[in-house]
Amino acid sequence: MGQSPVIILNWNGWEDTFACLRSLRQAPDVQEVWLADNGSREDRCGEAEACYPGLRVLQLGENLGYAGGNNRALRIAAQEGRRYAYLLNNDCEVEPGFLQAALDAAEVDDRLAAVGSVIFSADPPGHLQYDGVFRGAAEAAGAPAPTPAPGTRPAQYVSGAGTLVRLEALEREGYLEEQLFCYWEEIEWCARLAARGWRFAVCGGSRVIHRGGGSDLGANSHYYLTRNPFLVLRHVETGRRRAALRGAIYRGVSGTNLARQAGDREKWLAIAAGLRDGLRGRFGKRPADSPGPAFVALLGWWTLCASLRDKWRAARGLAPGYPPLERCLLGDLAGARSHRHD
C-alpha cells in the first residue's frame, strides 16, 4: 500500500514551509513528504528539497485554494493505492510521533474518515486551538482552556491544520468542496460524511503547533470566513436553516460595523463582499469587484436593525447576537449520528 504521505500545501509562504519541513525531518515516524505548490510567484522548490531530502514536489501551476490544491495531491495518493494521507498546513510544526499516533487511532475503527491532531498555538505559545473543538479567541489569548486528554476520543469534526484522512472515505463520498476555496472546508466535509455514517476522532498523542494567517492578503481570510458559511449551511436541517441564515447575516453586518469603526477599509470591503457573495450564492475564488452602492445602502439598514435588536435583547437581560454557526451545523451532525447509530 505504500507509506502515508504528509501533504503540505504552499502558496507564497516559503519561509513557513521551510520551517515546517525542518520540523518533519525531526519526526522519525514520517517516511514521505509531498509539497503541493499552488502557483507561487517564486519557484523555491530547490530550497524546499534541501530542507527535506527526498521531498516530492507537485507543481500545480495556479492557486487552486486549500481545497483544490489538497484535492489534487489526495487524488494522486488514492490512485497510487495509499490508504491514508496526512494534511498539514505549511505554517505548522510537528511533535515527533504525531503521524504514527494518528495512524494507530485510525486502524482501530474502519469507519473513521479522519483523525485530527491536537493543535496548539505558536503565538501565544502552548495555548490550545483545537482539541476536538475549536477554541475561541479568549482561550487563544491566554484564558484557561482544558488540558488535552490523552488517547483517542470521538469528535464531530477535525481541524484542517493537521489531520489524517482515510482516502477510501474521500473516494466513496467526495473530496473537499472546491467552491469554498479556503476556510470551512473541513466543517463542510465532516458534515457531508457524518450524514453518511462516517465518524471522526481527535488523537491526544498527535500534536501540531500552528502559527496561522501567513498567506493572507487583502483581508481575504475575512472575505472567505464571512462568505463560506452560506454554502455550508445547506447541511443544516430546514427547520433551523432560517435562524442560522439570520445569524450568518448578523455576523457579517457586525463585522463590517466593527471594521468601519476601526477605520479599516480593506477589512470592511472584504467582509461586505463576502456577505454579498454568500447571499448571492457566488462561490469559488474571490472576485476583484467591490460591493455597489445599493448593497452598501442595504448594509447600512441591516446595521441599524442589528443594533436595535441587540438593544432590545439587552433590555431583557439576553445576550446579543446569535448562537455560533458551528453549533447549528454540529447539532445536526450529532443528530445524524445518533439517528444512524442508535
How much is the pLDDT for 197?
Answer: 94
Q: What is the pLDDT of residue 52?
A: 96
* pLDDT mean across residues, the chain: 88
Is residue 326 predicted with pLDDT exceeding 80?
Answer: no
The percentage of the chain sitting over the pLDDT mark of 70, rounded to a whole number, equals: 89
| CA dihedral sign of residues 299, 301, 303, 306 | negative
Q: pLDDT: is 27 or 321 the higher one?
A: 27
Do 153 and 93 touch, CB atoms closer than 8 A?
no
Give the CA distances from residue 30 to residues 4, 217, 281, in Å, rounded to whole numbers and listed in that order: 8, 32, 41
Residue 67 has pLDDT above 90, yes or no: yes
Please tell me the distance from the alpha carbon of residue 116 to that of residue 2, in angstroms, as a whole number.
21
Residues 257, 305: Cα–Cα separation, whole Å: 12
**pLDDT band at residue 136 under the 50/70/90 scheme:** low
- C-alpha grid cell for residue 72? 489534487
Residues of the chain with CATH 3.90.550.60: 6-210
Query: Who has greater pLDDT, 128 or 32?
Result: 32
Residues 267-288 pLDDT 10s: 999 999 999 999 999 999 999 8
Q: Given the DSSP bridges, would you call strands 92-94 and 112-122 parallel, antiparallel or unpaired?
A: unpaired
**Region 101-120: what's the mean pLDDT?**
96
Domain topology for 6-210: Spore Coat Polysaccharide Biosynthesis Protein SpsA; Chain A (3.90.550)
Q: Do strands 199-210 and 56-59 pair parallel, antiparallel, or not at all (unpaired)? A: unpaired
Q: How confident is the model at residue 21 (pLDDT cuts 50, 70, 90)?
A: very high
Q: What is the pTM of this model?
A: 0.88
What is the tens place of the pLDDT at every residue in 198-230? 999 999 999 999 987 555 666 899 999 999 999
State pLDDT tens for residues 152-178.
Answer: 999 999 999 999 999 999 999 999 999
CA atoms of 45 and 209, how far apart (whole Å): 23
Kindly give the pairing relationship between strand 125-130 and strand 33-37. unpaired
Cβ neighbors of 105 (< 8 A, separation 6 or more) are 112, 115, 152, 164, 201, 203, 205, 206
Query: Does the pLDDT value for residue 185 go beyond 60?
Result: yes
